[in-house]
Structure 1
Amino acid sequence: VVSSEQQEDGSLLTHFDQTPRMSTYLVAFVAGNLQRVTAKTKGDVEVNVYATPAQPAASLDWALEHASKTIDFFDEYFGVPYPLPKSDHIALPDFSSGAMENWGLVTYRETALLADPATTSTSTRQYVATVIAHELSHQWFGNLVTMKWWNNLWLNESFATLMEYLATDALHPDWRQWDEFANNEGVAALRRDSIDGVQPVQTDVSSPAEIGALFDGAIVYAKGGRLLRMMQLWIGDEAFRAGLKQYFTRFKYSNTDGNDLWSCLSEASGKDVGALMNTWISQPGYPVVYTSLDDGELVLRQEQFFVGPHQPSDRLWPIPLGVNSSSVPEILSDREWRVPLTSHEPLLLNQHNAAHFITCHDDQLRSRILQAVAEGTLTSSQRAQYLNEQLLLARGGVISSSVLVETLSAFREENDQTVWEIISLAIGELKKFVAQDEAAEKLLRQFTGKLARTQFERLGWDKLDNEPESDSKLRTTIVGCMLYSEDTAVVSTARKLYQDTPLTKLSADLRPLIIGTAVRYSDQPAVTVDQLIEAYQTTQSADLRDDIASGVTSTRDAKQLARLIRLLTDTDVIRSQDVVHWFVDLLRNRYGREAAWHWMRDEWSWIEQTFASDKSHDYFPRYAANLLMTRQQLAEYRDFFTPLRRDQSLVRAIDMGILDLEGKLDLIDREATGVVTALEKIL
């Protein structure tokens, strides 16, 4: 603002400074009754955080602190200062995206910006910090330098995904953000990218309808960010920073494609970055590297990894192996290599868990790793990586899913939060094998309780003074496992906490679990749901609303499920931005799945009208495929969605959904008996 002048007619005339050269999609105006907190960065940039007056003033402070510190960090890291005199951040009550990087005026959902100390969980505070870092990195990647066309969307989103972790790791090293990067972006990318028909990171775009389909969070965000992290480690951080500085300086206020970036990074590093990266961003999928021992030689062989039905593939990648043996070359670019190997130590590939591939060891090499797990000589990052790779290999039918039961047993004394995130994923994988068999499900519940018991006894229900945030997050996972096990004492405690404690006073880390338990075991489900819906409508806390949604949708009562499903189209109760969250939670509930699936098909016209204009349109076929569980539902999925392939923005989601669901059902048919037998044996 240059000046403001009160006019004779009572109006206010405001003069603004000239807008810098920018893409039109980055222009935003916001007007309303707003509160504000403000600060200055070391470079004298004015930082403001805005929210409606309904929000507690204290909920703006966390965002203000992190926005200011993040700008300072990027100023130094990029060597190119933030290009504007101010940086505004505003929380909007109803916003379809998580956030949008408008230049100088970033817009957010309330849950992505506000952190009320009284009601916000540890995970949410960390999420807010990463979203702010993501959007602020866009002020350079996307805003100062903009992609030439949508096929290079990854120049915006892949880099922002990488930078959100790099910045928050620098500001909060105790958060172990690179482990979170592997568990969040790595897991999402490896799962999605294993399905035949997935898009590559760089995808040609020939029509406006195809643009919305580009925003696949697991690919252009997660996989792309993972590939850039792989490249950063390959050339070294010093060269990476020097190349970025050159890129921003050379191309500021102009448009680029990927080769412009590779050129700058190649000049800075002396390595041919394009030769490595162009294959990775232009090809869909990723390789599995098979390792075996043969008469004193290590045999390494790569092929494309798939989960579910697929066409044959002869794709190859230049793979930075990151192996803990000097006898193994740096990059595997051929189909197969044989190298001498005399070491009897565990063979670890992809040591930083940043390169986009997985490893399948033969029995001899696998036994070395399992021994290292048992002896505690692998780092927590290595343990989590190994377990996640076993999950993927089981999903792909490379190893038997029953092996997961034995593998998990080796983690019974595990106390690391990031490893337990993968253990929880593994338990989720096993659930699908027992979903139609109550006796088998009871076995898995018992197994889960035994796995979690040691950590539950260590952590308990109550947060300790000065405990590490990792323990606070781990408690959430462990209590969730104990509640799944239907441990009588744990369920009783959760119900008592709900009865005796106001919702806003419940532990923010445990609140959705406590609410869900109260709903599932309620003697008066209608009364409990009534109370929660009223609280949902009256609270101004977006965090509490999310927790209530997660909890109330876990009811087992058919009448209450029908009531909740009717609310999905009632925007006076559930804002349109939150419908997908409610829908997914109802689909995840085995008692509500069929009704939610019927609702989606019955209300498709409303879904199209409400969501077709934003990027969440294809969430419905994608999440339905993830959560449907029967052959009948697969047939219904095909019948319903096949005619909708006329919509170009849905084609890939539908085609991949069919393959994903087919692969899951085929796996259940093949492996369920073996999984149940393994559970019986281990117990």
Structure 2
Amino acid sequence: MCSYTKAGTGEESGAQVAPQEREVLPTNIKPLHYDLTLEPNFDTFKFSGVETIDFQVNERTDFITLNSLEIEIHEAKLDDVPIKDIIFDTAKQTVTFKLPDHLVKGAVAKLHLKFTGELNNKMAGFYRSSYQEDGKTKYLATTQMEPTDCRRAFPSYDEPSAKAKFTISLVANRDLVCLSNMNEKETILLSDYKKKVVFNTTPLMSTYLVAFIVGDLKYVENNNYRVPIRVYATPGSEHLGQYSADIAAKTLAFFDKKFDIPYPLPKCDMVAIHDFSAGAMENFGLVTYRTVDLLIDPENTNVNTKQRVTEVVMHELAHQWFGNLVTMDFWDGLWLNEGFATWMSWYACDSLYPDWKVWESYVSDSLQHALTLDALRASHPIEVPVKRADEINQIFDAISYSKGSSLLKMISRWLGEDTFIKGVSNYLKKHKWGNTQTSDLWEALSEVSGKDVVKVMDIWTKNIGFPIVKVEENENGEITVTQNRFLATGDVKPEEDKVIYPVFLGLKTSKGIDESLVLDERSKTFKLPTDDGFFKINGDQAGIYRTAYDSSRWTKLGAAGVEGKLSVEDRVGLVADAGSLASSGFIKTSSLLDLVKSWSRESNYVVWDEILTRIGSIKGTLMFEDEATNDALKAFTRDLISTKLNEIGWEFNDSDSFADQQLKSSLFSSAANADDEKAIAYVKESFEKYIQGDKKAIHPNLRATIFNISAKHGDETTFDELFKIYRNPQSIEEKIAALRSLGRFTKPEIMDKVADLLLQTNIIKQQDIYIPMQGLRAHKGGVERLWKWLTDNWDKVYELLPPGLSMLGSVVTLGTSGFTTEEQKQNVEKFFSTKDTKGYNQGLAQSLDIITAKSKWAKRDSKVINEWLSANGYTK
């Protein structure tokens, strides 16, 4: 998915001895093979199962314990002997079979089970997904096992190190399509209307990668690759999968070559699912996606959506090697899966679509997501100790994905990209079909590079946070650099500042970048190699840290940016560092404002996005201050972008490059949000034409902005029009844009209407509840209305999104993190003080940290910001 004991390799990975505090299954037995037949019933929303598990007995024992949740077992036999003594532990999600006699070490036994499970609506395990066709509700049955929901589909040894082989059969109506990880072996007709589809046996794999689907599906395919690639969707939308099928063919061929290991399965299916809690899931050979992340019409899609779909497909396919072929030993190593797949998707995207220049946007995307979350006291290490199943979902976050990928980017630059890829290939070859720990990758990279990767990376992966590097300039052409822990709240305690990171300084001067300098102690002094006065730390922004200069150096670097001495990555990094340092109190916010004002002629969209994001952060922090400040910030934004916007406009041509399209849409969005008169007039005119039937009146690149701004200035009629678009969209992308815009209405009675829709799952799918919430969180009235909705409906929210699933944490964060004052923070703390926060405690703690940081920033710098705005002529 868009987490330490060491297993063996190959077919021999033996029993593991897990840390005592971890809730894992006993290792007295080891599953070798599952033979599983399942039949979903769309009338009762149940499924029946018949299962045989072949076990190897590791020690003399008289019991077998498996993971099982919400499954009713009707019959259990060991070989041919019935088992009567069956004990369920709901809290630990296990079932224990007490055997009539002992099993001896080294024996192989067969456990036969018959059971019934719930074809649930929780988007977990074996579940049902609904969709509308010709005015009727139809269903398909699908799976989501990661991280710990295979136990909802069938009793299993549901841990990543317990790799086994699976022979899966599905019983269904003859007119439905049945899919699983492997290709079909045979179809047996059971009656005039039923069939049994038997699939070939899988290679060794973990339970969280098992998948099966039953439904009315159609497909498109690409046959340019060695094995068939198909994209499946419900009838009528399958043609929208061709873009992703074509991407997959190029990507699999690219990874074959880079890893020097052929894709290991006989087919690759990708399926669009209407109800899906994540973005996508890398099930071996049967990858599942949200419809919006797989199905697109490339001719009627905005550039951001096209790039996202491309990267999501590449991310999931990278997992087929990194995660599926070689799997982390336990969930502590989740980052190894997700960080690597994220990095690899950027790498593949850069190679296959060089004109997109994705490494430039990486700095404002992955790196900033990582640094923003990791600057909170409530962050966690990349390698995070996990004890219970309910803790695992909480680490599918920007640390595992974005900090993980940023760390790999840093290592690949240190070692050299070719050396890095060679080390990864060696790692995959050595451990294929087995399980690993993070150190196994570091050892492979050490061997191929001759550098002590293990020592360096252990510090980065096993500690929370990252450093701020302060630069002091001396008179004799030397600089002294000092590292300390960085916190967004600016209140690091001595006991939190003991880790010394190996910081790659990447000293950029007019001679180039010196990659050899490493700050591996608290403070060091270096001689600058030139005397022309130009230098920047963290050249091309490859390191995971913030850099703080004195005020005169910020001014010089601003000038260097204008003079063309800094790369796009450098410029993005400077703005991001200045924004973060201003918000945490290391520099005055006026220094940030001076820097961005000096770059009003900037031509790169990534730099503009970062500039506008940082101004947006100031707006968000001062959201609950007086309106005059907000108006002045809008005036500043209009002035800042006016030169570039007048130069490029917002009309799109076929000749526009990827970068041109990005820049036009970014500046138009900013102008409209800052109440630019021409932009607002264009929004009104084009929206009116659109709802009158002219579907060409809104360019896909401007659609989201036009919907949002129409809502922001709209009334009940506008609401009805956007709601109608949501209910009858031209595309999935349009549907999501309309849904998000519903949260942008500012009239109280319409916000009430939107809040009332959030729990109506027949109107807004459970998976999409956060989308209108994002709209509400963007403005003051919406933030307050969202909190009222969350507190008034807490019991219903908790029931709809149970803590064992991942979405509750996201909803809590969205419902609370928009606040900016200490009093508001106390209200949040008071409300949750009486609640069981298991399963979302991390998200809540992070949200409270965010409010604290904004509160301190506003107290410290609101006067400075107002004085700057006034001095520069932006206040009325």
User: 1:416 and 1:67 mapped to 2: Cα distance?
Assistant: 29
Alignment of 1:462-611 (within 5 A): 462-501=651-690, 502=693, 504-505=695-696, 506-522=698-714, 525-539=715-729, 541-611=731-801
Secondary structure at the aligned position of 1:402 is classed as: helix
Q: Residue 115 in 1 paired to residue 293 in 2?
A: no
Aligned amino acid, residue 700 of structure 2:
A
Aligned amino acid, residue 587 of structure 1:
R
Which of these residues, 418, 422, 447, is aligned with residue 267 of structure 1?
447
Give the deviation of 1:41 after TM superposition.
4.4
Secondary structure at the aligned position of 2:540 is classed as: coil
Q: Residue 332 in 1 paired to residue 491 in 2?
A: no
User: 2:515 and 2:542 mapped to 1: Cα distance?
Assistant: 18
Aligned amino acid, residue 316 of structure 1:
I
Which of these residues, 204, 218, 224, is aligned with residue 35 of structure 1?
218
User: 2:605 and 2:562 mapped to 1: Cα distance?
Assistant: 18
Aligned amino acid, residue 339 of structure 1:
F
Secondary structure at the aligned position of 1:153 is classed as: helix
Give the deviation of 1:381 after TM superposition.
2.0
User: 2:369 and 2:415 mapped to 1: Cα distance?
Assistant: 25
Q: Residue 318 in 1 paired to residue 495 in 2?
A: no
Which of these residues, 331, 335, 353, is aligned with residue 541 of structure 2?
353
User: 2:209 and 2:514 mapped to 1: Cα distance?
Assistant: 50
Which of these residues, 358, 373, 377, is aligned with residue 192 of structure 1?
373
Q: Which structure 1 segments of 5+ residues have no match?
A: none
Question: Which position in structure 2 is the counterpart of 1:133?
Answer: 314
Give the deviation of 1:107 after TM superposition.
0.5
Q: Residue 441 in 1 paired to residue 630 in 2?
A: yes
Q: Residue 663 in 1 paired to residue 853 in 2?
A: yes
Q: Which has the larger radius of gyration?
A: 2
User: 2:768 and 2:810 mapped to 1: Cα distance?
Assistant: 12
User: 1:8 and 1:327 mapped to 2: Cα distance?
Assistant: 73
Aligned amino acid, residue 445 of structure 1:
K
Give the deviation of 1:515 after TM superposition.
1.6
1:65-123 residue CA offsets vs partner (Å, 9 max, x unmatched): 11111101100111111111111101111111111111100110011111123542110
Aligned amino acid, residue 669 of structure 1:
K
User: 1:494 and 1:160 mapped to 2: Cα distance?
Assistant: 39
Alignment of 1:103-182 (within 5 A): 103-182=284-363
Aligned amino acid, residue 311 of structure 2:
T
Secondary structure at the aligned position of 1:324 is classed as: strand
In structure 2, relative to structure 1, the CA distance for the partners of 1:327 and 1:231 (3 Å cut) is closer
Kept after mapping to 2: 8 A contact 1:196/1:311: no
User: 1:477 and 1:230 mapped to 2: Cα distance?
Assistant: 28
Which of these residues, 563, 569, 588, is aligned with residue 400 of structure 1?
588
User: 1:607 and 1:159 mapped to 2: Cα distance?
Assistant: 34
In structure 2, relative to structure 1, the CA distance for the partners of 1:388 and 1:327 (3 Å cut) is closer
Kept after mapping to 2: 8 A contact 1:54/1:540: no
Question: Which position in structure 1 is the counterpart of 2:824?
Answer: 633
Question: Which position in structure 1 is the counterpart of 2:385?
Answer: 204
1:499-532 residue CA offsets vs partner (Å, 9 max, x unmatched): 012485321111121122222333xx11221122
1:203-236 residue CA offsets vs partner (Å, 9 max, x unmatched): 11112221122212x1010001100111111111
User: 2:620 and 2:278 mapped to 1: Cα distance?
Assistant: 31
Give the deviation of 1:434 after TM superposition.
4.2
In structure 2, relative to structure 1, the CA distance for the partners of 1:532 and 1:241 (3 Å cut) is same
User: 1:528 and 1:633 mapped to 2: Cα distance?
Assistant: 32
Higher strand share: 2
Question: Which position in structure 2 is the counterpart of 1:242?
Answer: 422
Alignment of 1:205-224 (within 5 A): 205-216=386-397, 218-224=398-404
Give the deviation of 1:415 after TM superposition.
1.4
Kept after mapping to 2: 8 A contact 1:347/1:365: no
Question: Which position in structure 1 is the counterpart of 2:206?
Answer: 23
1:374-410 residue CA offsets vs partner (Å, 9 max, x unmatched): 3232222211111111011111100011222211111
Give the deviation of 1:655 after TM superposition.
2.3
Give the deviation of 1:237 after TM superposition.
1.8
Question: Which position in structure 2 is the counterpart of 1:652?
Answer: 842
Provide the TM-score with structure 1 as the length reference. Answer: 0.96
In structure 2, relative to structure 1, the CA distance for the partners of 1:8 and 1:219 (3 Å cut) is closer
Secondary structure at the aligned position of 2:744 is classed as: coil
Kept after mapping to 2: 8 A contact 1:194/1:307: yes
Larger RCO, structure (CA 8 Å, separation 6 or more) = 1
Kept after mapping to 1: 8 A contact 2:378/2:842: yes
Secondary structure at the aligned position of 2:297 is classed as: coil
Give the deviation of 1:437 after TM superposition.
1.4
Secondary structure at the aligned position of 1:190 is classed as: helix
Q: Which structure 2 segments of 5+ residues have no match?
A: 1-183
In structure 2, relative to structure 1, the CA distance for the partners of 1:280 and 1:327 (3 Å cut) is closer
Question: Which position in structure 2 is the counterpart of 1:49?
Answer: 231
Task: State the identity as a percent.
Answer: 31
User: 1:212 and 1:5 mapped to 2: Cα distance?
Assistant: 39
Secondary structure at the aligned position of 1:48 is classed as: strand
User: 2:844 and 2:334 mapped to 1: Cα distance?
Assistant: 22
1:452-471 residue CA offsets vs partner (Å, 9 max, x unmatched): 11222122231012111111
Secondary structure at the aligned position of 1:486 is classed as: coil
Q: 266-275 or 321-330: which moved more?
A: 321-330
Which of these residues, 550, 564, 576, is aligned with residue 362 of structure 1?
550
Q: 596-605 or 143-152: which moved more?
A: 596-605
Higher helix share: 1
